[in-house]
Chains A and B, each alone.
Chain A
Amino acid sequence: MIILEKRPQASQFWSYGAPIVAVFVTMIFGAVLFAALGKPPIEALSKIFWEPLFGEFNFFYLPQLLIKGAPLVAIALGLSLGFKAGIWNIGAEGQYIIGALCGAAVGLALYPMEARWLVLPAMLIAGAFGGFAWAMIPGILRVKFNTNEILVSLMLVYVAEQLLAAMALGAMKNPEGMGFPGSRNLSQYSSASSWIDQGHGMHWGVVIALIAVIFAYILFTRHILGFQIKLAGQAPRAAAFSGVSPARLVLFCLGTSGALAGIAGLTEVSGPAGVVSIDFNVGYGFTAIIVAFLGRLHPVGILMAGALMALTYIGGDVAQSSLGLPKAAIQVFQGTLLFSLLGIDVLTNYRVRMKRGAVA
């Protein structure tokens, strides 16, 4: 009989090994799935993982990895702060939308001013503030009234989506758009565009995501606040005794993740997306939760996990168009990644033992 035995200490080996094993398990599962759908399994996997990186058209796909990965990494980094401390911000999608709306509002209000040094920074600040303020709603409600931040932040996503629709159809509608919904194209307004080099997929969101990785790394390895966050997550009572203010921690973690999500939203709307449209958000805020866990809540891990997730999106589309794989199969494949990670994660804290004889 197989039993699970709790380890006295979390296994260092499995803590790092689990994501890698999970990726392999996902590949095997994917191969079986694709074969069952009547598609060549090895070719399908190579379309997903190999083609974008080393294929004939990688000059196009590699920059796309930056575009797709940057918002995932930026948002996941912010979320990881809270997740480590046991503060669950599930509403990054909403903060992403509000950040985009606030930043875009500034950009559209200043249109057509020719002052990139002023317009883009003002938009960035407004975007960060928008995300921050939206995250403060669950933050303050939790601190003052002890509400559940999971529910409040999640519900605010739907509020944000309604606001987005209202803006795309109303206040922010392009006056030259013949009555169609959607704002002016911010990426074509040179003072507001977040692009640095479009051909190489470089925009300010990419730069800020990379800077955030470095800051998060320093925070966790060198700064007392990083220590307090980890302590609050692992031993809340010990944290309280050592003088960590839970309220301050909640506001810091939610605020920072909100601001990062807001910046991600703003750099997306003024770059790759271009316009405030009804369905501007495509789920980065939710996918980032997977990225945060896949990356072990570690800044460098998140960077790699974000790149991997972006790869499955881009490669998934390649497999769809070149092999006719249905979208649902790709989504099952992505979902398996998190599922197998969580499954294999058991090995970090538990040991598998074989035990002889049945126990009544």
Chain B
Amino acid sequence: MLRRTLLASAAAATLVGTSLGAQDVTKVGFVFVGPVGDGGWTYEHNQGRLAVEAEFGDAVETVFVESVPEGPDAERVMTQMALEGADLIFTTSFGYMDPTINVAAQFPDVMFEHATGYKQADNVSVYSARFYEGRAVQGHIAGQITESNVIGYIASFPIPEVIRGINSAYIHAKEVNPDVEFKIIWAYTWFDPAKEAEAANVLIEQGADVILQHTDSTAPQAAAQAAGNVYTFGQASDMAEFGPMPRVSSIIDDWAPYYIARTQAVMDGTWESTSTWDGIGPGMVGIGEISDAIPAEVKASAEDMISRLASGEYHAFTGPINKQDGSAWLAEGETAADYTDDGLAGMNFYVEGLTAEIPQ
């Protein structure tokens, strides 16, 4: 076996060195962290994949592998796609960052797109969505509809993406309701209906009557429905089947336009390594319809906020904002930068007023 391996590796060197994408059909690969049926994060990425197929028809071929663990397995799956002739590969989870960079280095003629990371290369672009804009809208609504003044938050992993969401929701809930309090449960999963339902029930028992989730299943929606008087927001997908109560609105990831544009760029030969971070304005973050279960004036002010976020007139992190320890973060009127120290990309602190601690 060893000798076969050695011989074959020599072949590999030449094969990898030459172009693999000589065919007419553009092959696009997708690496998914969850099952496509999760109804949330991976589901929406898969919708993007289907949109690419619908847009280009026979000119593209898409392949995907679901539930790929974030480590050596991811590296293998990406390499396999590249070997089998993929021209463009979307890797759709933060944990795929290093594997994407490693594999991309071996396949200079294959283009890679990594979601939610920060490492770029000549053939690796990064893209993410400004979900925190949607969180601002959620906080704005939640702060006004809560009667117990306790808002529950099912968080996934303490990474900047999730912490940004908590901060944004809290700032905007506090703005409309100074007495509001956040209870945060870390589920340490992106998708686990049993854990998510348990977290939701614990939060409800602790008095939360609005639950925000940064996990992908509809289990918290079902738990809220069973409890009766609890409001929720759809996550990643619209989750409209739980409306008008408990689901009163949602954050919808819409990757389709980006995936179509990037596939087009590969076809045209105009693909370049870029960093994209789009919000409500360009449509990467959608806000699901605000249901009639909430008062009309709340709905109106939320819709106003959505349009101000979309036009860029308002930034979700506008000073004055202090950090949790009381030190100043943003001065009056100052907006948060993306990639500086204390910027949004690597955010690892809570804002003033949140009582919990980020797990370390």
* A interface, CB within 8 angstroms of B: 57-64, 67-68, 165-166, 169-170, 178-181, 185, 199-201, 268, 272-275, 277-280, 282, 313-314, 317-318, 320-322, 324, 326-328
Q: Which chain B residues border A272 with CB–CB below 8 Å?
A: 71-72, 75
Beta-carbon nearest neighbor of A269 in chain B = B71
Q: Which one of A178, A201, A277, A327 lies within 8 Å of B95 (CB-CB)?
A: A277
Q: A181 vs B70: C-alpha distance in the bound complex, in angstroms?
A: 13
19 A–B contact pairs at CB < 8 A? A59-B7, A59-B12, A62-B4, A67-B72, A169-B359, A170-B360, A179-B348, A180-B94, A180-B159, A180-B160, A181-B157, A181-B159, A200-B6, A272-B71, A275-B98, A277-B95, A320-B65, A321-B29, A321-B64
- Chain A contact residues: over half helix, strand or loop, or mixed? helix
The reply to whether A179 and B360 contact each other, CB–CB distance below 8 Å, is no
| Segment touching A, from B80-88, B216-224, B264-272 | B80-88
Given contacts A60-B12, A327-B67, 8 further A-B contacts (CB under 8 A): A57-B83, A58-B4, A60-B80, A179-B348, A180-B160, A180-B346, A181-B157, A273-B71
The reply to whether A317 and B80 contact each other, CB–CB distance below 8 Å, is yes
Q: Is B50 an interface residue (CB 8 A)?
A: no
Q: Which chain A residues border B98 with CB–CB below 8 Å?
A: 185, 274-275
Q: A326 vs B84: C-alpha distance in the bound complex, in angstroms?
A: 19
The reply to whether B360 and A166 contact each other, CB–CB distance below 8 Å, is yes
Q: Which chain A residues border B84 with CB–CB below 8 Å?
A: 57, 321-322
Q: Is B11 an interface residue (CB 8 A)?
A: yes
The reply to whether A282 and B5 contact each other, CB–CB distance below 8 Å, is no
Q: Which one of A60, A62, A273, A328 lies within 8 Å of B72 (CB-CB)?
A: A273
Complex interface residues of chain B between 69 and 121 (CB less than 8 A to chain A): 69-73, 75-77, 79-81, 83-84, 94-95, 98, 118
Question: A281 CB to closest chain B CB, in angstroms?
Answer: 9
Q: Which chain B residues border A60 with CB–CB below 8 Å?
A: 12, 79-80, 83
Q: A169 vs B159: C-alpha distance in the bound complex, in angstroms?
A: 8
Q: A268 vs B80: C-alpha distance in the bound complex, in angstroms?
A: 20
Question: B328 CB to closest chain A CB, in angstroms?
Answer: 19
Q: Which chain B residues border A279 with CB–CB below 8 Å?
A: 69-71, 95
User: Given A170-B360, A179-B160, A321-B81, do A59 and B118 touch, yes or no (CB 8 Å)?
Assistant: no
**Residue among B64, B75, B95 facing the most chain A CB atoms (10 A cut-off):** B95
Q: Is B39 an interface residue (CB 8 A)?
A: no
Q: A180 vs B343: C-alpha distance in the bound complex, in angstroms?
A: 13
The reply to whether B8 and A58 contact each other, CB–CB distance below 8 Å, is yes
**Residue among B36, B63, B98 facing the most chain A CB atoms (10 A cut-off):** B98
Beta-carbon nearest neighbor of A283 in chain B = B69
Complex interface residues of chain B between 1 and 56 (CB less than 8 A to chain A): 1-2, 4-9, 11-12, 29, 35-36
Q: Which chain B residues border A314 with CB–CB below 8 Å?
A: 76
Q: Which chain A residues border B9 with CB–CB below 8 Å?
A: 59, 199-200
The reply to whether A282 and B66 contact each other, CB–CB distance below 8 Å, is no
Beta-carbon nearest neighbor of B66 in chain A = A327
Q: Is B314 an interface residue (CB 8 A)?
A: no
Q: A327 vs B80: C-alpha distance in the bound complex, in angstroms?
A: 16
Q: Is B185 an interface residue (CB 8 A)?
A: no
Q: Which chain B residues border A318 with CB–CB below 8 Å?
A: 80
- Tell me how many residues of B have a C-beta within 8 Å of chain A: 47
Q: Which chain B residues border A327 with CB–CB below 8 Å?
A: 35, 65-67
Q: Which one of B12, B71, B345, B359 lies within 8 Å of A282 (CB-CB)?
A: B71
Q: Which one of B8, B67, B70, B157 lies within 8 Å of A59 (CB-CB)?
A: B8
Beta-carbon nearest neighbor of A56 in chain B = B83
Beta-carbon nearest neighbor of A272 in chain B = B72
Q: Which chain A residues border B79 with CB–CB below 8 Å?
A: 60
Q: Which chain B residues border A169 with CB–CB below 8 Å?
A: 158, 359-360
Q: Which one of A178, A181, A275, A317 lies within 8 Å of B76 (CB-CB)?
A: A317
The reply to whether A178 and B71 contact each other, CB–CB distance below 8 Å, is no
Q: Which chain B residues border A68 with CB–CB below 8 Å?
A: 72, 76
Q: Is B347 an interface residue (CB 8 A)?
A: yes
Q: Which chain A residues border B70 with CB–CB below 8 Å?
A: 277, 279
Beta-carbon nearest neighbor of B5 in chain A = A62
The reply to whether A200 and B69 contact each other, CB–CB distance below 8 Å, is no
The reply to whether B12 and A322 contact each other, CB–CB distance below 8 Å, is no
Q: Which chain A residues border B7 with CB–CB below 8 Å?
A: 59
Q: A350 vs B127: C-alpha distance in the bound complex, in angstroms?
A: 60
Q: Which chain A residues border B4 with CB–CB below 8 Å?
A: 58, 62
Q: Which chain A residues border B72 with CB–CB below 8 Å?
A: 67-68, 268, 272-273
Encode B221-259 as 1/0 by CB contact (under 8 A) with A. Answer: 000000000000000000000000000000000000000
The reply to whether A320 and B347 contact each other, CB–CB distance below 8 Å, is no
Q: A61 vs B5: C-alpha distance in the bound complex, in angstroms?
A: 9
Q: A1 vs B242: C-alpha distance in the bound complex, in angstroms?
A: 54
Question: B9 CB to closest chain A CB, in angstroms?
Answer: 5
Q: Which chain B residues border A57 with CB–CB below 8 Å?
A: 80, 83-84
Q: Which chain A residues border B76 with CB–CB below 8 Å?
A: 64, 67-68, 314, 317
**Residue among A62, A179, A278, A279 facing the most chain B CB atoms (10 A cut-off):** A179
Which 10 pairs across A and B sit closest by C-beta, in order of nearness? A59-B8, A179-B346, A272-B72, A170-B360, A178-B346, A179-B348, A282-B69, A327-B67, A59-B12, A321-B63
The reply to whether B8 and A178 contact each other, CB–CB distance below 8 Å, is no
Q: Which chain A residues border B36 with CB–CB below 8 Å?
A: 326
Question: A51 CB to closest chain B CB, in angstroms?
Answer: 10
Question: B104 CB to closest chain A CB, in angstroms?
Answer: 15
Beta-carbon nearest neighbor of B8 in chain A = A59
Q: Which one of A61, A166, A322 lies within 8 Å of B359 (CB-CB)?
A: A166
Question: A265 CB to closest chain B CB, in angstroms?
Answer: 12
Beta-carbon nearest neighbor of A280 in chain B = B71
Q: A200 vs B348: C-alpha distance in the bound complex, in angstroms?
A: 39
Q: A275 vs B74: C-alpha distance in the bound complex, in angstroms?
A: 14
Beta-carbon nearest neighbor of B359 in chain A = A169
Q: Which chain B residues border A326 with CB–CB below 8 Å?
A: 35-36, 66
Q: A268 vs B12: C-alpha distance in the bound complex, in angstroms?
A: 24
Beta-carbon nearest neighbor of B117 in chain A = A180
Beta-carbon nearest neighbor of A62 in chain B = B5
Q: A166 vs B348: C-alpha distance in the bound complex, in angstroms?
A: 15
Q: Which chain B residues border A313 with CB–CB below 8 Å?
A: 73
Q: Which chain B residues border A180 with CB–CB below 8 Å?
A: 94, 118, 159-160, 346
Q: Which chain B residues border A178 with CB–CB below 8 Å?
A: 118, 160, 345-346
Q: A274 vs B103: C-alpha distance in the bound complex, in angstroms?
A: 14
